[in-house]
Amino acid sequence: MEALHKILGQSEMMAYLIMMAPRLLELHRVLKPTGSLYLHCGSVASHYLKIMLDVIFGPTRFVNEIAWKRSYGHGIHAGVWEEAMILCSSMQRRLITH
C-alpha cells in the first residue's frame, strides 16, 4: 500500500484502495481451497486492484480479466458507454499450458 500511496498520494483512488484491502483479504480468508473470486470494477481502478489481488492471492493464481462495455441506452444517458472489468483470481494455482 505504501508504494501505491507514493504513486497516488492523497486521492479518492487511494481511499478506495484502502477501503478495498481488508475486504479482499477477508474474501481470500473465507474462500474454499477450490474457490475463485470475480471482482467487478471500473477500468480506472482495475490496474491497482490487479496488483492487490496478486499480492493477496499470488501472481500465479490470477486467472483472467474480462473487459466489457455497457450502454445506458435510454433516457438522458442514451448512447453513454461505461467500461468495466471483471478480474478473476483463484485459490488454486493456475495451470500454464503452452
Give one DSSP letter per residue of 68-82, joined into a string.
Answer: EEEE--SGGGTT-EE
Burial class (CB in 10 A: 0-12, 13-18, 19+), 14: middle
Q: Structural domain tally of the chain?
A: 1
Q: Model-level pTM greater than 0.85?
A: no
Q: Could you write out the DSSP letters of every residue in 3-38?
A: HHHHHH-SSHHHHHHHHHHHHHHHHHHHS-TT-EEE
User: For residue 8, is it within any domain?
Assistant: yes
Q: What is the pLDDT of residues 24-83, one digit of tens each?
A: 999 999 999 999 999 999 989 999 999 999 999 999 999 999 998 877 666 666 667 788
Distance CA 89, CA 64 (A): 7
- Per the structure, the complete domain to which residue 20 belongs is given by 2-90
User: For residue 15, is it within any domain?
Assistant: yes
Contact criterion met (CB below 8 Å) for 24 and 57: no
**Is the confidence at residue 98, as pLDDT, over 60?**
no
Tell me the CATH number at 23.
3.30.110
